[in-house]
């Protein structure tokens, strides 16, 4: 359906406009989520491991729980790659002419965004809890404290950037598409009905239009 605007995108096959693309709320939120994932990954990977003065082995800053650091690093890196993939999809999206393919892309975006919003909620609760129960004697100088708090804070913010970007914006696009498709269907039915009425032979009873088979008088 070339030229049709669906799911908030412009006409299919139109030229890519970088200025318009980066001004879209969905693109801005996706870039913000991408930056948040870099901050979380960087904070934990660089300053998330410490060691005691007389020990060589490094421990996770979050209550010596290695799973907490692994979770933050893994989720940050995966969210980074996921944002890059969907940014590429956003660039290619206006070239998709099929409404069905656009629908699949939007539904995939909604599902992935809901998944990441939930995973960041779990990550925020997990990291905040482990940081709260961390013993002071394990890290008397509070090394990496700012990095730990930054990772927790941006995990919390990531919940809403992913949720709003994927669910709220795309949900509005789905409603828009349903309204457009409904209007198109009504117009199509009216058009077909007008053609049937125009080409009914003279002398046919009116009931023929309603599916009753009767003999026509020509």
187 alpha carbon, distance to own chain's centre? 32
Residue 22, number of CB atoms within 10 A of its CB: 10
- Structural domain spans, the chain: 18-210
Give the pLDDT of residue 119.
96
Residue appearing with tokens 């070239």:
95
Give the pLDDT of residue 41.
94
Residue 130: exposure state from Cβ atoms within 10 A (0-12, 13-18, ≥19): buried
Contacts of 121 (CB under 8 A, 6+ apart): 159
Residue 192, number of CB atoms within 10 A of its CB: 10
Give the pLDDT of residue 50.
83
Give the pLDDT of residue 25.
84
Please give the Cα distance from 42 to 30 (Å, whole number): 18
pTM: 0.69
Please give the Cα distance from 210 to 162 (Å, whole number): 51
Per-residue pLDDT of the chain (218 residues; tens, 9 = 90+): 443 444 455 555 566 788 888 888 888 999 999 999 999 999 999 988 887 767 678 888 898 899 999 999 999 999 999 999 999 998 888 888 887 888 888 888 888 998 999 999 999 999 999 999 988 777 766 778 889 999 999 999 999 999 887 666 555 555 655 666 566 666 656 655 555 444 444 444 444 344 444 444 43
């Amino acid at each position: 359906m070339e030229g049709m605007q669906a799911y908030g995108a412009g006409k299919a096959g139109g030229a890519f406009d970088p200025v318009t693309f980066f001004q879209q709320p969905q693109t801005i939120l996706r870039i913000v989520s991408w930056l948040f994932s870099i901050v979380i990954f960087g904070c934990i990977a660089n300053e998330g491991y410490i060691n005691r003065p007389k020990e060589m082995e490094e421990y996770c800053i979050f209550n010596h729980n290695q799973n907490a650091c692994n979770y933050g690093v893994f989720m940050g890196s995966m969210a980074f790659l996921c944002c890059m993939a969907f940014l590429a999809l956003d660039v290619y999206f206006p070239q998709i002419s099929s409404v069905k393919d656009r629908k699949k892309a939007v539904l995939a975006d909604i599902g992935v965004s809901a998944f990441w919003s939930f995973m960041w909620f779990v990550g925020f609760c997990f990291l905040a809890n482990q940081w709260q129960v961390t013993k002071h004697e394990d890290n008397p100088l509070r090394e990496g404290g700012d990095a730990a708090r930054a990772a927790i804070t941006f995990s919390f913010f990531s919940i809403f950037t992913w949720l709003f970007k994927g669910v709220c914006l795309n949900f509005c696009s789905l409603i828009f598409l349903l309204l457009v498709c409904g209007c198109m269907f009504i117009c199509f039915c009216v058009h077909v009905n007008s053609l049937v009425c125009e080409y009914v032979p003279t002398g046919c009873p009116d009931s023929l239009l309603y599916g009753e088979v009767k003999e026509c008088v020509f």
